[in-house]
C-alpha cells in the first residue's frame, strides 16, 4: 500500500494541497458544500502549529485571513455562494492593499440560498466582478482531485508572487465525490514563499514601491518596519492619497499586474484538439462529462476534442481563439446559463458557431445531455 495514495473527497484534496503549500492560518464559517474543508483544517492546522478559527460570519473570516496574512502567514478561507457574496467587500480590500490570500468557493446552485446540496457553476462572473470598482482577479478551477491539488498549490504560489487574493472555484460535484489522490512528495511541486524586503532596520521601507519586475517585497506586521495599510488609494508609504497621479498609477498597477500576464497565467488541458472538428470547452466537474463524451465518440470515429480551462480569470482569450480556430463548432459545457459561453463568443472569430451545452436544474450534466445537444448542432437531430 503506497503511503501517499488517498481515497478522498475533493474538499480533502484541497486541504491536503493547502497544507502542502504551507497554509498556516485558516478562518471560516460553516456552509454547505464547503464545510469539510473547515472541519479537516480544524484538526490539521494546530497539529502542525498553525491556527484555525471559526469566525462569526464570512465577512469576519475574510477579514481575519487578511490580518493573519499581514503577519507573514499563508492564509485561506473556504465558503460557498452566500458566504462568497458576503466576502466581496473585503476581497476588494485584499486586492487594493495587495494581500496574498486564497479563497475557496465550492459552488452550489444560486441565487440566494438556492440549492445547497447540488452542484452548479454559477459564480464564474461573481468571482470576476463581485467586488466593486475596476480591478483584476485570479481564479482557478479543476475537474479532478489531482488537479484540485495542483491548482490549490498554484493558487498559493500565485497569491505570493502577485500579492493578490486568488479564488479557487470548485463545485459541489467534485468537492463531494471521492477518488484517488496521490500526494506529491515534498519538493515535487514548487512552492513560492513570501517575498520579504531586504531593507534593513533603520532604513526607509516603502511597502508600496514596486521593484523593477513589478513585485512588492513585504515586511511582516510585528517586524522592524512599520507602515500603513489601507483600502484607500495610497502612495508608496501606504498612506491615503487622492492625488490623481497616485490614483491613476495604483489602479493601473493593480489591473496590469495580472491582465498583462494573461497568457502566462493561463492553465488549461487539451484532449484530441489536433484534428478536432468539434471542440468542447469546459471546466470543473462539467469537464468530466465532456471528456467522457469526447473519448467515447472518438472510439466511433467522431473527431471531437476538449479544451479544459483551469484558469478562468484573467480569461485566456487568445489561447481559446487559437485552439478553436479550426473548429466547425465550439460547444461550451457548463452548469449555468452560459457565463463562460459569453466569454468564448467574445474570444473566437466566429461567435455564431459557439453553442451551449448546459444544465441548470441541480442535476449534474450527463454525457447523454451533451451528445443530444451536439447532434442538434450537427443537424442530426437527437
Partner 1 sequence: MAINKYLRERFFPHLWCPGCGHGTVLNGMLRAVDKLGMSKNEIVMVSGIGCSARISGYVDFHTLHTIHGRALAFATGVKMSRPELNLIVPMGDGDALAIGGNHFIHAARRNIDITAIVMNNRIYGMTGGQYSPLSGQDIIATTAPYASIDPSFDVVELSRAAGATFIARTTTYHVKQIDDFIKQAILHEGFSVVEILTQCPTHFGRKNKQGSAVDMMKLYRDITTPIGSKAKQENPNLIERGIFVQEDKPEYCREYEKIIEKAMGS
Partner 2 sequence: MVFSGSGGQGVVTAAIILAEAAVIVENLNAVQSQTYGAAARGGATRSDVIIAESVIHYPKVIQPNFLVCLTQPAYNTYYPIIRPGGLLLTDSRFVKTEDKVDARQIELPMYHSVMEQIGKPIVFNICMLGVTISLTRVVQPESILKVLEDRIPKGFLEMNQKALDVGIELGAGLKI
Which of the listed partners (partner 1, partner 2, none) does 194 bind, with a CB threshold of 5 to 8 Å by partner kind? none
382 binds partner 2 (CB under 8 A): no
Question: Hey, how many other C-beta atoms are within 10 angstroms of the C-beta on 218?
Answer: 23
**CA dihedral over 59, 65, 69, 71, signed as positive or negative:** positive
Summarize as ranges the residues that interact with partner 1 (CB under 8 A).
24-25, 27, 43, 46-47, 49, 51, 53, 55-57, 59-61, 63-73, 75, 89-90, 93, 221-224, 226-232, 237, 239-240
* Choice between 46 and 214, CB closer to partner 1: 46
Query: Per rule CB under 8 A, is residue 149 in the interface with partner 2?
Result: no
Beta strands in 150-219 (DSSP E): 165-171, 178-182
Q: Which three cell numbers stand for residue 359?
A: 444544465
Among 206, 367, 372, 377, binds partner 2 (CB under 8 A): 367
Pick between residue 94 and residue 333 the one whose CB is nearest to partner 1: 94
Task: Give min distance, CB of 14 to partner 1, in A.
Answer: 20
CB within 8 Å of 312: residues ≥ 6 apart: 124, 127, 128, 139, 140, 141, 169, 283, 340
Cα separation, 204 vs 197, in Å, equals: 11
Rg, C-alpha atoms of the chain: 21
Scored b (16 or more CB within 10 A) or e, 326-358 reads ebebbbbbbbbebbbbbbbbebbeeeebbbbbb
Residue 295 binding partner per list partner 1, partner 2, none, with a CB distance cut-off of 5 to 8 Å that depends on partner kind? partner 2
- If binding is defined by CB under 8 A, does position 224 make contact with partner 2? no
Phi/psi for 348 (5° steps) reads -90, 165
Q: What minimum distance in Å lies between the beta carbon of 81 and partner 2?
A: 16
Choosing among partner 1, partner 2, none, which partner's interface includes residue 56 (Cβ < 5 to 8 Å by kind)?
Answer: partner 1
Out of partner 1, partner 2, none, which partner does residue 6 contact, by CB within 5 to 8 A per kind?
A: partner 2
- Kindly tell me which residue out of 43, 48, 57, 117 binds partner 2, with binding defined by CB under 8 A: 117
User: Which residues are CB-neighbours of 94 under 8 A, at least 6 positions away?
Assistant: 62, 66, 69, 101, 164, 165
Residues at the site binding partner 2, with contacts judged by CB under 8 A: 1, 5-7, 116-117, 173, 176-180, 285, 288-289, 291-292, 295, 364, 366-368
Amino acid at each position: 500500500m503506497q503511503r501517499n495514495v488517498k481515497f478522498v473527497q475533493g474538499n480533502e484534496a484541497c486541504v491536503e494541497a493547502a497544507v502542502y503549500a504551507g497554509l498556516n492560518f485558516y478562518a471560516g464559517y460553516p456552509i454547505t458544500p464547503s464545510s469539510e474543508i473547515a472541519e479537516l483544517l480544524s484538526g490539521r492546522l494546530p497539529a502542525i502549529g498553525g491556527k484555525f478559527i471559526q469566525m462569526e460570519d464570512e465577512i469576519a473570516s475574510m477579514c481575519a485571513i487578511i490580518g493573519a496574512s499581514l503577519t507573514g502567514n499563508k492564509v485561506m478561507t473556504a465558503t460557498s455562494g452566500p458566504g462568497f457574496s458576503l466576502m466581496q467587500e473585503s476581497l476588494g480590500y485584499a486586492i487594493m492593499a495587495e494581500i496574498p490570500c486564497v479563497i475557496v468557493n465550492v459552488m452550489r446552485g444560486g441565487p440566494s440560498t438556492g440549492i445547497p446540496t447540488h452542484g452548479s457553476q454559477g459564480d464564474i462572473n461573481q468571482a470576476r466582478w463581485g467586488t466593486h470598482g475596476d480591478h483584476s482577479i485570479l481564479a482557478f478551477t479543476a475537474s479532478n482531485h489531482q488537479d484540485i491539488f495542483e491548482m490549490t498549490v498554484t493558487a498559493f504560489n500565485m497569491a505570493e508572487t502577485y500579492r493578490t487574493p486568488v479564488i479557487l472555484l470548485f463545485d459541489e460535484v467534485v468537492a463531494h465525490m471521492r477518488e484517488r489522490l496521490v500526494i506529491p512528495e515534498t519538493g515535487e511541486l514548487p512552492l513560492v514563499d513570501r517575498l520579504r524586503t531586504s531593507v534593513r532596520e533603520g532604513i526607509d521601507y516603502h511597502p508600496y514601491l514596486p521593484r523593477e519586475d513589478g513585485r512588492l517585497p513585504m515586511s511582516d506586521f510585528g517586524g522592524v518596519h512599520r507602515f500603513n495599510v489601507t483600502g484607500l488609494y495610497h502612495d508608496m508609504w501606504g498612506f491615503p492619497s487622492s492625488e490623481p497621479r497616485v490614483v491613476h498609477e495604483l489602479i493601473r498597477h493593480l489591473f496590469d499586474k495580472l491582465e498583462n500576464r494573461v497568457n502566462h497565467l493561463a492553465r488549461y488541458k487539451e484532449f484530441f484538439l489536433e484534428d478536432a472538428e468539434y471542440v468542447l470547452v469546459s471546466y470543473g466537474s462539467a469537464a468530466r462529462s465532456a471528456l467522457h463524451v469526447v473519448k467515447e465518440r472518438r472510439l466511433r470515429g467522431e473527431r471531437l476534442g476538449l479544451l479544459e480551462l483551469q484558469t478562468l480569470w484573467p480569461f485566456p482569450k487568445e489561447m481559446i481563439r487559437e485552439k478553436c480556430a479550426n473548429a466547425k463548432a465550439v460547444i461550451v459545457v457548463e452548469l449555468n446559463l452560459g457565463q463562460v459561453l459569453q466569454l468564448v463568443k467574445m474570444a473566437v472569430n466566429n461567435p455564431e458557431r459557439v453553442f451551449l451545452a448546459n444544465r441548470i436544474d441541480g442535476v449534474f450534466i450527463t454525457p447523454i445531455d451533451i451528445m443530444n445537444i451536439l447532434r442538434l448542432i450537427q443537424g442530426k437531430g437527437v
